[in-house]
Structure 1
Amino acid sequence: MEFRLHPEVIHTAEAAGARLEVTEYDPRPTERPLEGFHQPLVRPARWRQLAVQLGGGLAVLEPGALQYLRGEIEMQATASGGAAGGGLGGLLRGAVTAAATGEGLFKTAYRGTGVIYTEPTRLHLLLGELRGEDLIVDDGAFVACVGQVTVGRHVNRGLAAALGSGEGRVQPKLSGEGVFALQSPVPPEEFQVLDLQGETLKVDGNLVLAYTGGLAFSVEKSTRSLLGSGRTGEGYVQVYRGTGRVWLAPTLPLHVQSSLTAP
């Protein structure tokens, strides 16, 4: 049976001079089912696409995220951790840091009036707001941000410190005020945004998509064996202490398992 993709805007978020829209493409059969017959229907997966509406504002996208744009919009490569057009000195400093950490140097900045469309994805797109703070994002989750937001890097040394290693894990860091889009196999409605007030959160597994920079992060041993933890990561828990927000996906293992068993 043939299907057609029907678009529908399912989520929106706004910042000064910009707007994010998530469009979901729902596959629907082109023919009516035959009456009097049992006809099993296997629908293709839904696709999602992000539209960035710019009204003179600024947007930053992950490299490779752009599919097309229309309007009077200028594109510029920007060194990670600095503003667009930061100068040769900023680019050289960024290049040295990127070489040391292994992180890619450039993001892509867009400024002007028009609309930007990202590549369609089967992952879910989660929209959130940044309130004059830092947001540490999981690897590969960042898609785009708009408003007064700087995209930089954060070196997470939690597990490295626990294992006695000097190297840390490099993650995107968003700073400022605006709205952002992250991607995940987990639908937005299944996330728990936990507002910690001087509390401690311990998580067994990589279930956190993002957390605000005011939280102190560490990795601590759990009751599991140290031998197993040294090889697989088991035996440690991720610990978040202080005041801030955490985007937690309790159902992530279910989605990962279903994707592995899908035909």
Structure 2
Amino acid sequence: MDFTWKGVTERDLSSGQNRLEVIEYSAEPMEAALSGYHQTLSRPARWRQLAVHVAGDGSAGNAVLETGALQYLRGTLEMQAVNAAGGSGLGGFLRGAVTAAASGEGLYKTAFRGSGTLYTEPTRLHLLLGELRGESLIVDDGAFVACVGDITVGRHVNHGFAQAVGSGEGRVQPKLTGSGLFALQSPVPPEEFQVLDLRGDTLKVDGNLVVAYTDGLEFKVEKSARGLLGSGKTGEGFVQSYRGTGRVWLAPTLPLHTTH
């Protein structure tokens, strides 16, 4: 059976004149079912696309996309390559490429300034929308999609696990700083995420269930007594620990979506 793809706004989030919109595409049959016959219909999985509506008002009229995420744009938007180590334009792009090659990480992003709408490539992953209010957010590898507003995209070197196992290498992750909107991608639907507001509290997690956390939290990887938490999915006998005041985006149902 042939299908046509119908797009509707699944969710959106606004801050000032900027807005993030998640468009969800579902497959609709092009032919009507035969009258009087039972017809089992197997539809293709849904796809999602992010629309980034940029206001074009000073620093608030800035957007950053993960490299390769853009499908098309509409409006008066200037495109520029930037990298997490600092710098912009061709020189910054080349410096970022060298840094990325040395570290194995894609540290350079694509920035846009002006007014208009950016559309990302469709994905079967879910899109999680959030807002920063003058703070910093550390994002898991591969989760960053886009941000808009007065937000700087940099990098954070996470030494937690490296220190726990006695290695000198750290994991490089995106770090968003400032005020504005952001979008992350995950196999977990937004409704299944828990945004935990820690206030001088401690959170210990067995497994890579955290997609992002605010920079005010102290992160460590700690050894755990055998059997204390699950099976030590972060490494044999290790758990991830978050202490202090801040927010954590936790996906407890992640194993249900990644188990085949």
- The TM-score normalised by the length of structure 1 is 0.89
Say whether 1:36 aligns with 2:36: yes
Paired with 2:119 and 2:233, the residues of 1 have a C-alpha distance of 41
The amino acid across from 1:143 in the alignment is V
Gaps of 5+ in 1: none
Say whether 1:71 aligns with 2:71: no
| Offset at residue 53 of structure 1 (A) | 1.1
Paired with 2:13 and 2:85, the residues of 1 have a C-alpha distance of 24
Say whether 1:138 aligns with 2:140: yes
The amino acid across from 1:119 in the alignment is E
| Offset at residue 94 of structure 1 (A) | 5.3
Indicate which of 221, 242, 245 corresponds to 2:244. Answer: 242
* 1:77-104 deviation digits (Å, cap 9, x = unpaired): 012143645x95x678756754553323
CA contact (8 A) 2:107 2:155 kept: no
Paired with 1:223 and 1:237, the residues of 2 have a C-alpha distance of 10
Residue 159 of structure 1 aligns to a residue in which SS?
Answer: helix
Quote the RMSD (CA, aligned, Å): 2.3
| Offset at residue 245 of structure 1 (A) | 0.3
CA contact (8 A) 2:137 2:213 kept: yes
* Percent identity between the two aligned chains: 71
CA contact (8 A) 1:17 1:147 kept: no
Residue 55 of structure 2 aligns to a residue in which SS?
Answer: strand
- The TM-score normalised by the length of structure 2 is 0.90
Indicate which of 229, 232, 235 corresponds to 1:233. Answer: 235
Residue correspondence of structure 1 range 130-169 to structure 2 within 5 A: 130-169=132-171
Give the aligned length: 253
Gaps of 5+ in 2: none
Residue correspondence of structure 1 range 93-242 to structure 2 within 5 A: 98=100, 100-224=102-226, 233-242=235-244
Distance 1:231 1:6, change over 3 A: closer
Say whether 1:48 aligns with 2:52: no
Distance 1:120 1:94, change over 3 A: closer
Residue 163 of structure 2 aligns to a residue in which SS?
Answer: helix
| Offset at residue 64 of structure 1 (A) | 0.1
| Offset at residue 17 of structure 1 (A) | 4.1
Paired with 1:64 and 1:100, the residues of 2 have a C-alpha distance of 20
Indicate which of 60, 67, 86 corresponds to 2:64. Answer: 60
The amino acid across from 2:197 in the alignment is D
Paired with 2:249 and 2:162, the residues of 1 have a C-alpha distance of 22
